[in-house]
Amino acid sequence: MSKPHGLLRAGFPFHATLGMRRVTTNPIDLAILKDGTLLVLNRSYGLGAQIRKTNWDDEDLGTIGSGLEWPVQIIIDKEEQIYVTDEATNKIIIFDRDGNNIGSWGKYGSKPGEVNRPSGMSFDADGNLLIADTLNHRISKFTPSGSYLKSFGKLGSEEGSLNMPWGISVDSDDATIVVSDWGNDRIQKFDKDGNFMMSFGDTGPEFGGLSGPAGIEVDSDGDTYVADRGNHRVLQYDASGRYVDRFIGDAVLSKSGRIYLMANARACRSREMTTLEESKRFRGPTSVRIYGDLMYVTDCGSHRIQVYKKEIYELSPSQILPDPGIPFLYNV
């Protein structure tokens, strides 16, 4: 599907909060099945790692999966097989939609076809897996069954080099590969063959700056969303890499949170005595997922999912003036 000629960005309001501590404990990523079930990938010291099932009614539907130690990302293929990267075991673990373990692959090392703490992953246009091979400072491509195909990237700060890449996403329109270059505090774009195209972002807390960018996602409009974990926010850039907006968290109590508090007098008193402003904000968000017009953010430090709704309208050439190439040339 081709991108629109232009966009009218009407807003991106907060939509909902899902989950709570003890259910979505330290959520690191999520995926959504065709029936709307959310699979929330949790990991925490003490409680271990698990895939928690929930839904829009914020119900705890139990856990699935086994054999996870320190997972990073979860994705689903067209047959609803579930793939999880585990950086502790250097494995990609595969489950069916019911959570039965149906296989795994991955070998620790630095040689071609080996991995060292794999993190983000995404399917490319051909259905192969692109994996952020974090401590090998490269992106590696495998078939879904684990056969090695190729890799690109090396340790460094120059264009096209990487320093502990974390997140990866593929633009469904032109197969562009977008990578969150964690150690270099930037985003890099590569073509489908791994050739460098451009980079954007820089170190810092200012607008558009990054600190340890983690999960990343590209939507159908070509916008890129980055979990700016160190700055406790999510940043939005357009297809050219221009900074558009930031999200700092606007959470309200989830349904499960309300039920818990109303049954716990001590917790209710504690909430009544605190300042609520900070409780709304993101704490170390780790991933961003786009499903339709909704953006899901795993608010890892606050044990919940925050959801925003994109309000946007496509514009024809007659509805928007050409790009002047000079900022602020047109007054609105």
Mean pLDDT of 162-182: 96
Indicate whether 24 pLDDT > 70: yes
Supply the CATH number for residue 74's domain: 2.120.10.30
Q: Give the list of residues 6+ apart from residue 322 with CB closer than 8 angstroms, or none.
A: none
- Whether residue 17 is contained in a domain is answered as no
Distances, alpha carbon 29 to alpha carbons 51, 59, 80, 286, in Å:
10, 18, 17, 7
* pTM (2 d.p.): 0.94
What does the alpha-carbon distance between residue 84 and residue 131 come to, in Å, rounded to a whole number?
11
CB distance 142 to 129 below 8 Å: yes
Domain span at residue 207? 26-249
Q: Which residues, in sequence order, are bridge partners of residue 139?
A: 132, 152
- Whether residue 315 is contained in a domain is answered as no
- Whether residue 8 is contained in a domain is answered as no
Q: Which amino acid is at 281?
A: R
pLDDT, tens digit, 9 for 90 and up, residues 246-264:
999 999 999 999 998 999 9
pLDDT value, residue 276? 87
pLDDT, tens digit, 9 for 90 and up, residues 320-332:
988 777 665 555 5
- Whether residue 36 is contained in a domain is answered as yes
Least confident of 166-170, 206-210, 243-247: 206-210
- Whether residue 275 is contained in a domain is answered as no
How many domains does the chain divide into? Answer: 1
- Whether residue 134 is contained in a domain is answered as yes
Distances, alpha carbon 220 to alpha carbons 5, 139, 236, in Å:
13, 23, 14
- Whether residue 48 is contained in a domain is answered as yes
Half-sphere exposure of 115 (CA within 13 A, CB side): 30
pLDDT, tens digit, 9 for 90 and up, residues 296-306:
999 999 999 99
Distances, alpha carbon 189 to alpha carbons 5, 103, 155, 297, in Å:
21, 31, 16, 22
pLDDT value, residue 1? 59
- Whether residue 215 is contained in a domain is answered as yes
Indicate whether 86 pLDDT > 80: yes
pLDDT, tens digit, 9 for 90 and up, residues 231-243:
999 999 999 999 9
